[in-house]
Structure 1
């Protein structure tokens, strides 16, 4: 199941979308960078964003929120607080101080690796993965694999922004994971 805004956006979703700054040609020509720092700095928009991400899971059992470095930490921490769940950071290689489990994944040019503490969760725990944006889905797909390596039941993957043309949400759905995003933008 996926929830992405439609052409009939609610006023709340329209406000969230309006709070996201678009920076053309960053980090390279042709890219429209969707900057959520403006949303994070807007008290009302940030609160509404967290509320919208949390609402489907309120009253259900979610043991942990896993956030992808770094903006996923901000949103994920707020979600964990509201759901009375633990928070698990998923970080780039070499950033965690204890024993880790890692997954390598392909980038457009080369590869990267993400890690999680080996004792970050208990097998069978229900986990929601969160990040600010889903594009090609490489990092999020690797994060789902990482969580599953530790035995997590990945309940859903949540994002503020979806760039549907890049296919990341569909990649995640192909793994049998529910994908939720609040707003969608055309292009890259």
Structure 2
């Protein structure tokens, strides 16, 4: 008796799975990366693009984006600015701070009182600690100007090194 393979728990069919495996370490650094992936997999570039779009739409993959090594491009002062923002204003503040061109990550996190009052995190990269602190001060001035009274405190935590530069991996 023949049996079917067990369905993939996240709903990837065989081509989707092969596309994820072929791209999870990054796209080829060529003028047409999707065409290169398609050639490797023996399918069309259009199929690769359509499948990736479907996986994004369905939430099976979250994003396609560049993951730079900030140290390699000269940004060695990586400061996670943390902010104690009034809960009633945090969504608006987070949207505004996250839209700044020098903020690469901005997200809400729960407070852990009494030791950790911060509920908004915004990552700033710069060539020096001084330059990073200038950026954080720019955020503070923006908050005071546009969201007077929303910020009750802040701090900056500087990275000592790169801890992770990859996403979730699936086994081949």
TM-score interval (norm. to shorter):
under 0.3
TM-score of the superposed pair, with normalisation by structure 2: 0.27
Tell me which protein shows more strand as a share of its residues: 1
TM-score scaled by length of structure 1? 0.26
Larger radius of gyration: 2
